[in-house]
Amino acid sequence: MMNPDAVEENQEEGNILVWLTGLAFLAAMVAIFIYVPTEQTEGVVQRVMYFHVPSAWLSFFAFFIVFICSILFLWKKEREWDIYAHASAEIGVIFCSLVLITGPIWARPIWGAWWVWDARLTSTLILWIIYVAYLMLRTQSDAGSMRARYAAVLGIVGFLNIPFIHFSVLWWRTFHPPPKVITNEGIGKGMDPTMLATLGISLCAFTLLYFLLMGVRVRQEKLKDEIDRLKREKLYSA
Amino acid sequence: MNLFLNQITAIVWKDFVTELKTRELFSAMFIFALLVILIFIFSVNLSVVKASEVGPGILWVAFLFSGTIGLNRSFMLEQENGCLMGLMLVPADRTVIYFGKLISNFIFLSIMELFILPLFMIFFNIDILEHLLPLLFVIFLGTLGFCALGTLLSSLASNLKSRDIMLPILLYPLLVPIVIAVVRMTGQILNGEPLSGMMNWIGLTASFDIIYIGVSIMTIDHILEE
């Protein structure tokens, strides 16, 4: 049962988060389109990086949260963790799709091809399929303990697959630019400071967006549970 | 330990007796694998492409597709007449069911692969006899990984609404690393390279096998639960 005070408190926290996320995105937009200079060789299309990289980071982060919540669910068997895992998987799939969309937009003028079978493109695509299958699995069984348990097992199995995918496609072939932000020379040496700052702001904005979406989705799912409970109580018991 | 092994043997034996009585699974898997190879031969022009380059991929696609039929059957068969319930009522650990199913799936698939290999050799004109031992080793590793993950997911998929569709959707993306690894290794072996030159792939496949058997032991309790 939800406490009315707690709901109100949540609402307030949610409002602050909305404002924070909005401001962060405003700052990110200013930084991306006004502040940061255009890249010399790649031109204006390079600005898509400030969406591409944060989306990729966000989807990995979301899938990691799915993994953690799945373990916690199997351990504690509390519905709470199942909701978190579900919400996080949905957000992860959305941002993984964004990565797969912004990637080709960037690749076409630079590499001359929409898609190449490079290590990171391939692994992102496989990752996307794994978590789409995860969401499909959730629609394939009725709500309840079984769905939560199965999804949790897949959440764990799927995340453990990531290192295997990474190494297998890396040894298979790779063209992708090597990591720029964290290189052998240290953090942030491979990039212009203004670009690094813009990327940082964009990363913050996207991370805030994750928590905002997460909060909305979790609240929605909890309300759904509440409605189901009320229905069972008031409608069918009479 | 002894009791554990006896229980596993009992499950494997049960699957074998069922198969010997009906003989439907094995023949279906074999014919299906053969068909997959045939269709690929029609779709690839072997006079242009080198057989040893496309051969390994085709061979493994045939193994995986027909293996999926076996996996689909392995728990679906138990759903009929509530046999799975019977298995779960047995006073034994859930891992016994997992290992029993894993071993019987593995043996069925291995037998099928042994029948396919000579046909593969004839159709593609590839002499596999001189590299037989490393090839069998790679097939062993790949099949074990396929069955380890496949048995876990098949126990899960058998309770879903559209189970025979969901198993490949869940299973294939997770199998990508192992497919890349075994196809690479098979190709290199058929080109006469020694196993010592592909230790990274062997390590990847072996750790895949070990990790997924471990994960299955830890999670099978949560899948087979009523």
Q: Where are the domains of chain A?
A: 4-235
Select the residue of A149, A152, A161 nearest B177 (Cβ to Cβ). A161
The amino acid that residue A77 corresponds to is K
Banded pLDDT at B34 (limits 50, 70, 90): very high
ipTM for the predicted complex comes to: 0.88
The reply to whether residue A136 touches residue B208, judged by beta carbons under 8 angstroms, is no
For helices A49-76 and A79-111, angle between their N-to-C axes, nearest 10 degrees: 160
Question: How confident is the model at residue A1, as a pLDDT?
Answer: 46
Name residues whose C-beta falls within 8 Å of residue B101's C-beta, 6 or more positions apart in sequence.
B11, B15, B74, B75, B151, B154, B155
The reply to whether residue A167 touches residue B204, judged by beta carbons under 8 angstroms, is yes
* Residue A175 touches partner B, C-beta closer than 8 Å: no
Dist. CA A118–CA B107, nearest whole Å: 36
Banded pLDDT at A96 (limits 50, 70, 90): very high
Q: Is the pLDDT of residue A41 over 80?
A: no
Question: How confident is the model at residue A10, as a pLDDT?
Answer: 63
Q: Is the pLDDT of residue A223 over 90?
A: yes
The two structure tokens encoding residue A138: 């959730």
The amino acid that residue B79 corresponds to is Q
Q: Is A174 left (phi over 0), alpha (psi -120 to 50) or beta?
A: beta
Dist. CA A91–CA A134, nearest whole Å: 13
Dist. CA B190–CA B50, nearest whole Å: 12
Question: How confident is the model at residue A133, as a pLDDT?
Answer: 93
Dist. CA A20–CA A17, nearest whole Å: 5
Is the Cα torsion angle A173, A176, A182, A184 positive or negative in sign?
positive
Q: Give the mean pLDDT of chain B.
A: 88
B158: DSSP letter: T
Q: Is the pLDDT of residue A107 over 90?
A: no
Residue identified by tokens 């792939």 is: B201
> A178 or B176, which is more confident?
B176
Dist. CA A81–CA A87, nearest whole Å: 10
The reply to whether residue A129 touches residue B215, judged by beta carbons under 8 angstroms, is no
Percent of chain A with pLDDT over 70: 84
Select the residue of B201, B207, B215 nearest A157 (Cβ to Cβ). B215
Write the pLDDT tens digit of every residue in A118-161.
778 888 999 999 999 999 998 888 777 888 899 999 999 999 99
Within the 105-144 window of chain A, which residues sit less than 8 Å (CB to CB) from chain B?
126, 129-130, 133, 136-137, 140-141
The amino acid that residue B50 corresponds to is K
Average pLDDT over residues B175-202: 88
Q: Is the pLDDT of residue A238 over 60?
A: no
Q: Is the pLDDT of residue B72 over 50?
A: yes
* Residue B204 touches partner A, C-beta closer than 8 Å: yes
Output helix, strand, coil percentages for chain A, rounded to the nearest 5: 80, 5, 15
Identify whether the C-beta of residue A46 lies closer than 8 Å to the C-beta of residue A199: no
* Residue B79 touches partner A, C-beta closer than 8 Å: no
Q: Is the pLDDT of residue A37 over 80?
A: no
Select the residue of B156, B207, B215 nearest A150 (Cβ to Cβ). B156
Q: Is the pLDDT of residue A174 over 60?
A: no
Question: How confident is the model at residue A63, as a pLDDT?
Answer: 94
Q: Is the pLDDT of residue B212 over 90?
A: yes
Question: How confident is the model at residue A222, as a pLDDT?
Answer: 92
Q: Is the pLDDT of residue A5 over 60?
A: no
The reply to whether residue B222 touches residue A137, judged by beta carbons under 8 angstroms, is no
**Among residues B93, B83, B202, which one has the least CA distance to residue B137?**
B202
Q: Is A230 left (phi over 0), alpha (psi -120 to 50) or beta?
A: alpha
Within the 154-183 window of chain B, which residues sit less than 8 Å (CB to CB) from chain A?
156, 159-162, 166, 169-170, 173-174, 176-178, 180-181
* Residue B99 touches partner A, C-beta closer than 8 Å: no
Question: How confident is the model at residue B204, as a pLDDT?
Answer: 92
Strands A186-187 and A182-183, by their bridges, are: antiparallel
Residue A182 DSSP SS3: strand
Banded pLDDT at B161 (limits 50, 70, 90): confident
For helices B51-79 and B132-157, angle between their N-to-C axes, nearest 10 degrees: 40
Dist. CA B89–CA B72, nearest whole Å: 22
The two structure tokens encoding residue A119: 């290590």
* Phi, psi (rounded to 5 degrees) for A191: -140, 155
Residue A174 C-alpha from the chain's centroid? 24
* Residue A146 touches partner B, C-beta closer than 8 Å: yes
Question: How confident is the model at residue A30, as a pLDDT?
Answer: 84
Question: How confident is the model at residue A114, as a pLDDT?
Answer: 82
Q: Give the mean pLDDT of chain A.
A: 83
Banded pLDDT at A51 (limits 50, 70, 90): confident
Q: Is the pLDDT of residue A172 over 60?
A: yes
Banded pLDDT at B81 (limits 50, 70, 90): confident
Cα–Cα distances in angstroms (integers) from residue B115 to residues B33, B150, B169, B190, in the given order: 10, 21, 27, 18
The reply to whether residue A140 touches residue B184, judged by beta carbons under 8 angstroms, is no
Q: Searching chain A, which residue's CA lies closest to the CA of residue B208?
A: A164
Question: How confident is the model at residue A189, as a pLDDT?
Answer: 53
Question: How confident is the model at residue A178, as a pLDDT?
Answer: 59
Question: How confident is the model at residue A72, as a pLDDT?
Answer: 93
Average pLDDT over residues A81-108: 91
The amino acid that residue A225 corresponds to is D
Q: Is the pLDDT of residue A193 over 70?
A: yes
